[in-house]
A and B are shown apart, each in its own frame.
Chain A
Amino acid sequence: MSSALTKASVKVAQSKFSILPRFSFALPLLGFGLLALAVVFHLQSETSLSFLQQWHVWLTLAPQDFAEFEYYYSAMPRMLMAILVGATLGFVGSLLQQLLQNTLVSPMTLGASSGAWLGLVAASVFFPTLAVLYREWWAMAGATVAVGLSLLVARRSGFRGLPIVLSGMAISLLFGALASAFVLLNDQYVRNLFIWGAGDLAQGDWNDVIWLLPRVSPLLLLVILAHRPLMLMRLGEQGAQSRGLNLIPVLITLLLMALWLTASAIATVGLIGFIGLLTPQIARRFYARSARIEMVASAVIGASLLLITDLIAIKATQSFGQLVPSGAAAALIGAPALILLSLKRGADNERVAPPPSSHDQVGHGNERRWFKTTPKKGAVVVAFIFIIVLCLALFVFPKTILVNNSVNMQANIHWGWYWPEGYLWQLRWPRVLTALMAGLGLAVAGTVLQRLIRNPLASPDILGLSAGATLSIVIFILFFGTKWLVFSPMIAFMGSFLVLGLLLLLGKRQAFSPGVMVLIGIALTALLDAILQFTLARGTDEVFSILLWMSGSTYSVTAIQACLLTVGVLVLSAITLVWHRALTLIAISDDVARSRGINVLRARGWLLTLIAGICALITAVIGPVSFIGLLSPHLAYLLGAKRVLPQILLASVAGGSLLVFSDWVGRVALYPVQLSAGVIASLIGGSYFVYLLARRRL
């Protein structure tokens, strides 16, 4: 595999060598010219001063009246901050992508953003005073933990292909779910974080610039020192080692430096995604000649990009009369750009294609298992667990009993088995049924998807199918308020099928390469995050209904919805089963499937459509739920269901039980406060996922 990679990268390098020399002067000029232009435009955005007056402020650095003060203390540091942060993010993106030889890697995709966000939110809830004072340290701690975890999880599958990005996405989802839970339970405490969360560059003095400057200065050192190892990395890990590169220490040092730079940047201005991911992709098209040039070019382009983004954010803020943070603007530009880029990535795909690590090759450590699993035994275990969970969810409950003593009323909470009487039963069964069906549907979707694109880390929530539905509903709420939420199923379907269309369109062109699908997933998920943060930063309470819905709650499900969901999920899942032979063959390889007379493209298209339908349905009813689709197939597999049909069946029951259990825990854990099933599912699923990955069971 690595030799193929080496060949590919050498080929890429050669092809670029052949064109580049002719442009050797024009290209740097172009880059810096763009930067200069962006700087000039950015400086004009918030001032009434003429060029001459601005020039005067720059020369004397001694502002006279308020307009000049404003220019000196707001426009100038803001411009410099945009350059610093943009350059840092671009540089770090390039460093990471070259270091790990993976064009999908960036601080955002490794989980740094959600880690920083969780760190800060948790600190604000638990240590409100300390959180305000040491904001950057909390952010840094969170980001370090998240990225460290993603790297740890991915370490044995290597950092090259999709696994690291998928593990980064999973960690992001896990941390994001945790942060949402904190925000929902303590909304008033975390309010002053929302602007930071949305990422805004506004400055009121030079302090932040002065704070950040020394912290990102190692960047210059890295330009010199990282060059050689990165050039060697282009030859592949073995190639680099054979030329005397001590891989592990270099890797760790450079990674830590990258993390430090990122954390410093986002601690000052907040969460700004995409720059780190996009910039190196642009830079590589023109400036890939050497590692150093690519890094410097990424820094310059990153700075220009952030300046332009921030300019747009300023203009939008001025025309809407309310804050549009730079982070939101970055996501709005970045997500489509990423998708556009992925359209053109065809030739690049060899570089990101994952090692075909399907289940059968990886080989699980069966010998250590305490009991030998067969599909039958697995089914018995799952059925047993399912029944227990169902009983728990329906009957075991804390009950409030009023005691009327002489002074006042007192409520005692009694735990135990209770037959839900009358109205309680009506309140309870739709929730349990919904959780069951949603878990079942997601498990089916996840199993099919993992077989379909031959990647054990694929799941509907990571590939953007759920994100499409969620995004469309969130945007809808943003524009029309919560009044029209009755139409949410239709909107969810629209969003889900738009994504599906995109996937099919790109898929036809590139034979459903996992890289493209993951890119779309990343783009949509990040866009969703940014829009959510933007909504939070608006400071209205409407956002909490969005947040609640986004946490995947069965709370507001009605009996009718539960029944509709049941019918829909069962029908769609049953249709999926019809395709199981095609699925088995495609899971081996496209060629095998084709030689057995299967129209691979059509089968893929149909199966994807079915999955998108299931996801849209579930998302519309209870909102996005992560990890069920990812984990259930693995549970089924670990329990011995290795063929498609038993795996789907076993996974669906396991997924259903998992979500019913999560829902029950959410209802009783903090009684009378309720947590969303999705949050608990993320917690359980996410931790188990990390455990599995770390133990190399996936």
Chain B
Amino acid sequence: MGVIPLKNRYLIHVDNTLALTVSPLTTFIVFLIYMLISPAALALTVKDSLGSQELPAPATRVIALNWGATEEMLELGVTPLGVAEIEGYKTWVAQPVIPETVMDVGTRAEPNIERIAGLKPDLIVIGSMQKNMIARLKPIAPVLYFDNYRADHDNFSAIKESFQQLAVALGKADIAMARLDAQNEKLKQLKQRLNVYFNGQLPKVTVVRFSDAHHVRAYGLNSMPLAALKELGIEPAIAIKNSTWGQVQKPIRDLAYMKGVLLYLRPLPKEAELFEQPLFRMMPFVAEGRIAPVRSTWTYGGALSISYLAEHFVEALMTLPATIASNNHALNSHTSAGIK
């Protein structure tokens, strides 16, 4: 836009009257031309957590140092040049599948900068774990830093925003929009299926991962599982405060008087043993069958991982009786009256 005032001033200087009559028209034409040619001629502008930066062209040789970015890149159809901890990605994130040609650049916490430099990338994408490396990565290639997981914001909207920005940097903005739209559509369908199944009376849900026989890591309000639940129109059964990675370690008995359904993520070693524990079996949510397992799913993923989560949640919830929410009210008031 910097062109226009300059031109105006020039015109005013040469001929005052001409400038007054012509200038709105000139301005408009210049603006039009500017709008038409700018996408091709000018660099891409990408916004990350540190502000805007310009890339000369869509990146093709990309290195991703965290798994969320890796996942999103693969979703966009871009095969990264290098990724940190590929073995870990294969074990814990798994989907989408990472091609064999991608090179390992070391651990996520201490990626091998010498190797990264050797690969001569044109873009490096990092997360909060690699924040202190920006100064050393910058001389190698432009760095996109997405600080997605934080206690003081809504992780999911930050992740969606960063996904779109990443897509811009890769020249895949249109694909990203399409994928997000498709995901919204899918989430809507899932929501509808759920509503039909539960007759419009959705149960409240808490999502946990069991850490051992007596403790859970409960997912908080700003976590991806809770974001998935929100998209499905499900309310959290207990409010767990925000934290960086969206989860809090708690004793199981803290959940005892929770009113709602408990979804727990697999894998859970010693699952049978847990369910044999008398106290666990007596927990109201177990005794009343308000508990269901969820297939193994990565819970710190990228923008499109939310649909996997939502899908698996719906799958799990639909193993419960359809009347659980309506029954539950009666049951809950009954038991609490009995105790008090």
Chain A residues with a Cβ under 8 A of chain B? 46, 48, 65-67, 69-70, 73-74, 129, 132, 184-185, 188, 191-192, 194-196, 200, 202-205, 207, 317, 321-323, 397, 399-402, 408-411, 423-424, 426-428, 481, 485, 537-542, 544-545, 548, 553, 555-556, 558, 671-674
Contact = CB atoms under 8 A, between A and B. Distances in A.
26 contacts: A46-B253, A48-B339, A66-B256, A69-B278, A73-B277, A132-B270, A195-B249, A200-B215, A203-B214, A317-B250, A317-B251, A322-B249, A322-B250, A397-B114, A402-B119, A409-B101, A410-B101, A427-B114, A540-B244, A544-B129, A548-B109, A555-B110, A558-B135, A672-B104, A672-B112, A674-B112
A539 B339 contact: no
B204 interface: no
A323 B253 CA distance: 11
B140 interface: yes
Contacts, number: 148
User: Interface of chain B, helix or strand or loop or mixed?
Assistant: mixed
Contacts of B215: 195, 200, 202, 323
Contacts of A73: 277-279, 282
Nearest to B215: A195
B103 interface: yes
Contacts of A322: 248-250
Contact of B211 (A48, A426, A539): A539
A209 to B, nearest CB: 13
Contacts of A556: 132-133
What are the 5 A-B residue pairs with the smallest beta carbon separation, nearest first? A73-B279, A202-B214, A672-B112, A69-B282, A323-B249
B202 interface: no
Contact of A427 (B117, B129, B132): B117
B277 A548 contact: no
Contacts of B119: 400, 402, 411
Contact of A674 (B107, B135, B244): B107
Interface centre among B114, B149, B241, B282 (most CB of A within 10 A): B114
B243 interface: yes
Interface centre among A185, A409, A410, A428 (most CB of B within 10 A): A409
A153 to B, nearest CB: 32
Nearest to B103: A411
A545 B243 CA distance: 17
Nearest to B115: A672
B284 interface: yes
Nearest to A324: B249
Contacts of A204: 213-214, 252, 277-280
Given A67-B339, A408-B101, A427-B136, A540 B214 contact: no
B335 interface: yes
Contacts of A538: 249
Contacts of A188: 88, 91-92
B250 A194 contact: no
Nearest to B268: A192
Contacts of A424: 114, 117
B297 to A, nearest CB: 14
Given A48-B339, A192-B269, A558-B135, A539 B247 contact: yes
Given A74-B279, A188-B88, A200 B253 contact: no
Interface in B156-183: none
B251 A323 contact: yes
Contacts of B211: 191-192, 194-195, 539
A69 B287 CA distance: 12
B118 interface: yes
B63 to A, nearest CB: 12
A558 B282 CA distance: 56
Interface string B103-131: 11111011111110111100000000100
B118 A399 contact: yes
B217 interface: yes
Given A322-B249, A672-B105, 12 more contacts: A69-B282, A70-B256, A73-B282, A185-B107, A195-B215, A202-B251, A204-B279, A321-B241, A671-B112, A672-B104, A673-B107, A674-B112
Contacts of B277: 73, 204-205, 207
B284 A66 contact: yes
B101 A541 contact: no
A542 to B, nearest CB: 6
B5 interface: no
A428 B103 CA distance: 22
A480 B86 CA distance: 31
A70 B253 contact: yes
B106 A673 contact: yes
B91 A545 contact: no
Contacts of A70: 253, 256, 279, 282
Interface of B: 81, 88, 91-92, 101, 103-107, 109-115, 117-120, 129, 132-133, 135-136, 139-140, 149, 211-215, 217, 240-241, 243-245, 247-253, 256, 269-270, 277-280, 282-284, 287, 335, 338-339
A320 B106 CA distance: 37
Nearest to B283: A66
A73 B282 CA distance: 10
Contacts of A67: 339
Contacts of B244: 481, 540-542
Contacts of B111: 672
B107 A200 contact: no
B339 A400 contact: no
Contacts of B245: 539-541
Contacts of B282: 66, 69-70, 73
Contacts of A317: 250-251
B110 A674 contact: yes
B106 A674 contact: yes
Nearest to A66: B282
Contacts of A400: 103, 115, 118-119
Contacts of A401: 118
Contacts of B248: 321-322
A185 B270 CA distance: 24
Nearest to A188: B92
A311 to B, nearest CB: 14
Contacts of B287: 66
A481 to B, nearest CB: 8
A539 B270 CA distance: 19
Contact of A541 (B115, B129, B283): B129
A539 B109 contact: no
Contacts of B117: 423-424, 427
A65 B61 CA distance: 63
A16 B88 CA distance: 61
Given A202-B214, A321-B248, A184 B115 contact: no
B291 to A, nearest CB: 15
Contacts of B101: 408-410
Contact of B269 (A132, A195, A555): A132
A672 B280 contact: no
B212 A548 contact: no
A537 B249 contact: yes
Contacts of B88: 188
A553 B110 contact: yes
Contacts of B251: 202, 317, 323
Contact of A544 (B81, B109, B112): B109
Contacts of B278: 69, 73, 204-205
Interface centre among B91, B270, B279 (most CB of A within 10 A): B279
A222 to B, nearest CB: 30
B284 A672 contact: no
Nearest to A485: B132
Contacts of B335: 66
Contacts of A184: 107, 109
A290 B183 CA distance: 75
Interface centre among A194, A410, A411 (most CB of B within 10 A): A411
Nearest to A194: B211
A207 B240 CA distance: 31
A289 B241 CA distance: 54
B279 A205 contact: yes
